[in-house]
Amino acid sequence: MLGGIWILWDEDNIKIHAIEMQKQYIHCEVEGVGARKWMFTAIYASPRERERKDLWENLKEIAKRITRPWMLAGDYNDIRDSDEQTGGGQENYAKWRRFSENIEECLLLEVSTEGPKYTWKGPVIGHARRLYKKLDRVLCHADWRNIFCEAQVQIGPRLQSNHHPLVIHITHPTMQQKCQALSL
The CATH number for 92's domain is: 3.60.10.10
Burial readout 102-128 (b: 16 or more C-beta within 10 A, e: otherwise): bbeebebeebebeeeebbbbbeeeeee
Q: Assess if residue 98 is contained within a domain.
A: yes
Give CA 99 to chain center in angstroms: 13
Tell me the residue range of the domain where 134 lies.
15-182
What pLDDT score does 177 carry?
42
The predicted model gives 85-97 an average pLDDT of: 83
What pLDDT score does 184 carry?
28
Q: Assess if residue 23 is contained within a domain.
A: yes
Please give the model's pTM, rounded to 2 decimal places: 0.87
Q: Assess if residue 5 is contained within a domain.
A: no
What pLDDT score does 172 carry?
52
At 152, give phi and psi (nearest 5°): -130, 145
The predicted model gives 116-144 an average pLDDT of: 91
CA dihedral 141, 143, 146, 151 (to 10 degrees): -50
Q: How many domains does the chain have?
A: 1
Per-residue pLDDT tens over the stretch 36-61: 899 999 999 999 999 999 999 999 99
What pLDDT score does 67 carry?
95
- Who's near 170: CB < 8 A, 6+ residues apart? 33, 34, 148, 150, 151
E strands, the chain, are: 15-22, 25-31, 38-44, 70-75, 85-86, 109-111, 113-114, 120-121, 132-133, 136-140, 152-155, 166-169
Q: Assess if residue 174 is contained within a domain.
A: yes
Model confidence band, residue 3 (pLDDT cutoffs 50, 70, 90): low
